[in-house]
Amino acid sequence: MTLILNGRKAQAALKERLVARLAKLNAKPTLAIVQVGAREESNAYIARKKEFGEEIGAGVELVRLSEDATEPEILSVVQRLNTDPQVHGIILQLPIPAHLNKQRLLDAVVLEKDVDGLATGSTFTPATARGVLSLLQFYQIPTEGKKVAVLGRSALVGAPTAKALREAGAIVTVCHSGTKNTKEITRASDIVVVAIGKPKFVGADYFRDDQTQVVVDVGITSLAEEGVVGDVDFEKVKEIVAAISPVPGGVGPMTVGALFENLLSVIY
């Protein structure tokens, strides 16, 4: 029996902890989301953040700018939020239109409020990395001394996830497009975290056939024919591993929760 790492269930437990913590705060933590344009997928993600935030009693304020907003316009919004004492966290909903310089806009968020952890020099761990760890912790899957392969080394997901796993005592190898023996490494791993952004790219040949490995799928792609899928070929891989996170309903809900963990860690 393969264990399905149910992010919705783990999120519910996290929600309870956050509600308890929020009750002890002497301010209502408020997240501001800056959205440029109105991509359908972004709308869906924002709706989930809003819903989660409201359920735990946090404020979520959406500032939506038009698709053709200029960098100075966005910067001026971010700067207003930076100095607004009622706003504790600010995130720029990604992706943003291609005419904008993403890192420059991310870096405009004052470090104290950068709860997405994406500004240069941020002191927050990106929500996805925190989400992966929380999902493993919820299912009491140990990381200390375990071999973990992280597929993908993006600054926003792969790299911070590898770092968080190392801090949790894991022995981590980061694989990327230039890695020659990726399948050899994943087959030798206790835990495989996949964050490459290629739908169903990772098949059964990446794993041993002995139902002992744990797979965490961070990928999320919306396919016209199949809806939302991950980087892992779930149906095939789940037959041969011990545990696997589905997409949707795996890391995604934990990422939303982790964002609010970051937000609550701002209020002193």
- Give me the residues that bind its own copies (CB under 8 A), please: 21, 111-112, 117, 121-125, 130, 133, 145, 147, 150, 153, 155, 159-160, 162-164, 166-167, 169-174, 185, 188, 261-262, 264-268
49 is catalytic: yes
CB within 8 A of 69, min separation 6: which ones? 36
Residues linked to residue 214 through DSSP beta bridges, in sequence order:
191, 243
Nearer to its own copies, 181 or 222 (CB): 181
Catalytic residue among 11, 49, 114, 217: 49
Looking up tokens 């490995």, which residue turns up? 213
The CB-of-240 to its own copies minimum distance in angstroms stands at: 21
Sheet holding 59-65, edge to edge: 59-65, 30-36, 89-92
The CB-of-17 to its own copies minimum distance in angstroms stands at: 9
Catalytic residue among 11, 50, 116, 200: 116
The CB-of-14 to its own copies minimum distance in angstroms stands at: 11
The CB-of-152 to its own copies minimum distance in angstroms stands at: 11
Nearer to its own copies, 93 or 173 (CB): 173
137 is catalytic: no
217 is catalytic: no
Active site amino acids: 49, 93, 116
